[in-house]
């Protein structure tokens, strides 16, 4: 099954004295990159959260945010009154030095953001374990919802990938029918030109030399091997899409190999119809490469 790298998942937990809300957003990235935002008092949970995410996700930029409301002991932050009073004292001293008579106008909101004034809630070991189990539970729920969205988007990507692969296969089938006629047509054209040139000087056609020239052309313009390899890549591409393993990097590699074969066919093309089909094949491969960048 294919998974898109983009998606969103959330989960909530509510009790009388505490509530949590988790949000996970995922975007495209060649590798797995996690960004975890937690309240300072819950920083102990970050390793477990990171572990849970990496168990389920393999590629993408994942932004995890946890919000908490705790009504116990006045909330998740404590005000360090000693630190606040120390700041007040130093501010008054500065005001006195500048001739304000120690009179200062302090914004409490500005005071609270000074280092050391607000301290995170300190939990006991038992509280840690209880909170960690809650966080792990809603994290698993949020990741599952994220995966549901990624799987749904992945099915849309899969349909487009298969459509492009069908276009490539159809054009390869057309190429297979043209390879023999290209050599035959070249033989006829070359024979006609040589006969016209020899007629003007009264000479006869060297059939052996003509056959050798046609054989050289046939060898240089033979694209059957490239068609076979490209067809094999298409089958492997489909098998990879249907496998349970991580598909994104494999599909990316396969599209590079497909383009390599298509470019080789283009370099050997000595026929306008073949060139037209090669153009269609390369357009479809470019579409594949674009879509594969969205696959986990």
On whether residue 12 sits in a domain, the answer given is yes
- Residue indicated by tokens 């054209």: 189
Q: What pTM does this model have?
A: 0.70
Q: Say what the pLDDT of residue 214 is.
A: 47
> Phi and psi of 10, rounded to 5°?
-145, 165
Do 167 and 60 share a structural domain? no
| Pair 83, 60 in one domain | no
Do both 189 and 241 map to the same domain? Answer: yes
Same domain, 18 and 100: no
Count up the domains in the chain and report the number. Answer: 3
Q: Does 131 lie in the same domain as 11?
A: yes
**Domain contains 207:** yes
190 pLDDT more than 80: no
256 in the same domain as 175: yes
Whether 91 and 186 map to the same domain: the answer is no
Does residue 270 share a domain with residue 247? yes
Q: Are residues 94 and 219 in the same domain?
A: no
219 and 238 in a single domain? The answer is yes
pLDDT at 191 over 60: no
Instruction: Output helix, strand, coil percentages for the chain, rounded to the nearest 5.
Output: 65, 15, 20
Q: Are residues 46 and 59 in the same domain?
A: yes
Q: What is the pLDDT of residues 82-98, one digit of tens each?
A: 777 777 777 777 777 76
Structure tokens at 137: 């539970």
Mean pLDDT of the chain: 81
Question: Does 1 reside within a domain?
Answer: no
Q: What is the four-CA torsion angle of 120, 125, 127, 128, rounded to 10 degrees? A: 70
Lowest mean pLDDT among 20-24, 97-101, 138-142, 268-272: 97-101
Q: How confident is the model at residue 158, as a pLDDT?
A: 94
**Residue 271 within any structural domain of the chain:** yes
- Which range, 34-38, 65-69, 113-117, is most confident? 34-38
DSSP one-letter string for 129-181? HHHHHHHHHHHHHHHHHHHHHHHHHHHHHHHHHHHHHHHHHHHHHHHHHHHHH
Q: Which of 8-17, 93-102, 129-138, 215-224 has the lowest mean pLDDT?
A: 215-224
The residue segments making up the domain with residue 30 are 7-76+122-152
Residue 66 belongs to domain with CATH number: 3.30.230
Provide the pLDDT for residue 94: 74
225 and 129 in a common domain: no
Angstrom distance (rounded) from CA 48 to CA 138? 12
């Amino acid at each position: 099954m294919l998974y898109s790298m983009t998606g969103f998942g959330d989960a909530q937990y509510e009790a009388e004295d505490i509530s949590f809300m988790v949000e996970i957003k995922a975007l495209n990235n060649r590798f797995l990159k996690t960004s975890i935002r937690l309240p300072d008092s819950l920083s102990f949970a970050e390793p477990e959260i990171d572990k849970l995410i990496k168990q389920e996700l393999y590629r993408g930029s994942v932004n995890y945010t946890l919000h908490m409301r705790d009504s116990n002991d006045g909330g998740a932050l404590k005000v360090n009154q000693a630190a606040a009073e120390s700041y007040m004292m130093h501010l008054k001293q500065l005001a006195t030095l500048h001739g304000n008579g120690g009179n200062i106008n302090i914004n409490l909101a500005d005071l609270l953001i000074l280092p050391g004034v607000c301290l995170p809630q300190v939990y006991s070991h038992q509280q840690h374990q209880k909170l960690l189990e809650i966080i792990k539970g809603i994290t698993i729920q949020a990741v599952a919802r994220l995966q549901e969205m990624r799987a749904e988007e992945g099915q849309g990507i899969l349909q487009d990938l298969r459509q492009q692969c069908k276009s490539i296969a159809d054009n390869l089938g057309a190429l297979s029918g043209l390879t023999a006629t290209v050599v035959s047509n070249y033989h006829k054209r070359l024979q006609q030109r040589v006969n016209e040139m020899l007629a003007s000087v009264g000479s006869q056609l060297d059939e052996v030399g003509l056959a050798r020239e046609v054989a050289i052309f046939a060898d240089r313009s033979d694209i059957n091997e490239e068609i076979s390899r490209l067809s094999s890549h298409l089958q492997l591409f489909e098998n990879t899409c249907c496998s349970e393993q991580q598909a994104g990097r494999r599909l990316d590699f396969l599209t590079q190999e497909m383009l390599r074969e298509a470019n080789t066919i283009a370099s050997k093309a000595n026929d306008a119809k073949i060139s037209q089909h090669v153009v269609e094949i390369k357009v479809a491969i470019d579409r594949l490469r674009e879509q594969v960048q969205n696959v986990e």
